[in-house]
């Protein structure tokens, strides 16, 4: 299908609300694509369609050449084995410690023996700088540390594709940088990565391509310098102006 992620003419309605309106998108091997756009533009719904958590009403999604069949549980599992997902709200199991949170999908979904799963879990914890927190429970960690555990869990399955849905939006501002720095290290793995974020400076630094969504559609895409400094669409200019105004007002205090 060309890319590791291929989305063709994707539509999604929630009742009368038309959330995705004919979205087409490709993410290639090793490419980092950043999705930006106002709240409610369909960015998170698009990610959930790609991993099979939301079933689109029209269109097709392919991951690593496999067409998603949303009513076929076996096919969905095959796709999810290839996709690491980082949610904005961490989605950790609070009754399990950090090590158990990472090992669980390895042993239950990927059928990896516990000894090997332990080795993998400790390796990815070292990668995100949390080896010493392996036996802590999520409630004992800061929000930034919990998100780094979530990133480690996504990496543990050795994904072909990595999806991140506003990974810093639930964090205290003082914890954002530690997560962004972790993501910068992670993307060096050369994984096809699709990130939703409002962190424009971060997007400029890491993205090969920025895709702008508005009202359920992709309205513009291109290299970061082109989108951020010479956008063609008025909606993109307005979005960036709002982000810059917000940043200036925060930095004033």
What domains are there in the chain, each with its CATH number? 5-251 (3.40.50.300)
- As beta bridge partners, residue 67 has 62
CB 228 within 8 A of CB 210: yes
- Give CA 146 to chain center in angstroms: 15
pLDDT at 115: 96
Quote the pLDDT of residue 91. 87
Are 86 and 182 in contact by the 8 Å Cβ rule? The answer is no
Q: Which residues of 48-67 are buried (b: 16+ CB within 10 A; e: fewer)?
A: bbbbbebebeebebbbbeee
Q: What is the C-alpha separation between 54 and 136, in angstroms, rounded?
A: 32
Render pLDDT for 49-98 as a digit per residue (tens, 0 to 9): 999 999 999 999 999 999 999 999 998 999 999 999 999 888 899 999 99
Dist. CA 164–CA 192, nearest whole Å: 11
CA 179 to chain centre: 13
**109-121: average pLDDT:** 95
R_g of the chain, CA atoms, integer Å: 18
**251 pLDDT exceeds 50?**
no
Q: What was the pLDDT predicted at 214?
A: 94
Rounded to an integer, what is the distance from CA 184 to the centroid of its chain? 13
Indicate the pTM of the whole model: 0.90
The region that residue 171 occupies, defined by phi over 0 for left and psi between -120 and 50 for alpha, beta otherwise, is beta
Q: Cα-flanking dihedrals φ and ψ of residue 21, to 5°?
A: -125, 70
Q: Can you tell me the distance from the alpha carbon of 223 to that of 56, in angstroms, rounded to the nearest whole number? A: 28
């Amino acid at each position: 299908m060309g890319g590791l992620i291929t989305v063709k003419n994707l539509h999604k309605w929630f009742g009368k609300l038309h959330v995705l309106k004919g979205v087409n998108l490709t993410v290639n091997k090793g490419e980092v694509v950043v999705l930006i756009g106002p709240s409610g533009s369909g960015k998170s719904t698009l990610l959930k369609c790609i991993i099979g958590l939301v079933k689109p009403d029209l269109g097709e999604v392919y991951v690593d050449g496999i067409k998603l069949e949303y009513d076929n549980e076996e096919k969905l599992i095959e796709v999810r084995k290839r996709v690491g997902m980082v949610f904005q709200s961490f989605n950790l199991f609070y009754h399990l410690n950090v090590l158990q949170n990472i090992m669980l999908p390895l042993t239950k979904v990927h059928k990896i023996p516990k000894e090997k799963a332990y080795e993998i879990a400790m390796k990815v914890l070292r990668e995100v700088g949390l080896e010493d927190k392996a036996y802590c429970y999520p409630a004992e960690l800061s929000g930034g540390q919990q998100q780094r555990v979530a990133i480690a869990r996504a990496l543990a399955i050795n994904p072909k594709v990595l999806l991140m849905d506003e990974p810093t939006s639930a964090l205290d501002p003082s914890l954002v940088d530690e997560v962004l720095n972790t993501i910068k290290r992670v993307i060096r793995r050369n994984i096809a990565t699709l990130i939703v974020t409002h962190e424009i400076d971060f997007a400029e630094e890491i993205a090969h391509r920025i895709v702008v969504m508005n009202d359920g559609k992709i309205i513009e895409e291109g290299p970061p310098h082109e989108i951020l400094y010479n956008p063609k669409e008025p909606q993109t200019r307005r979005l960036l102006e709002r982000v810059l105004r917000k940043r200036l007002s925060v930095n004033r205090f």
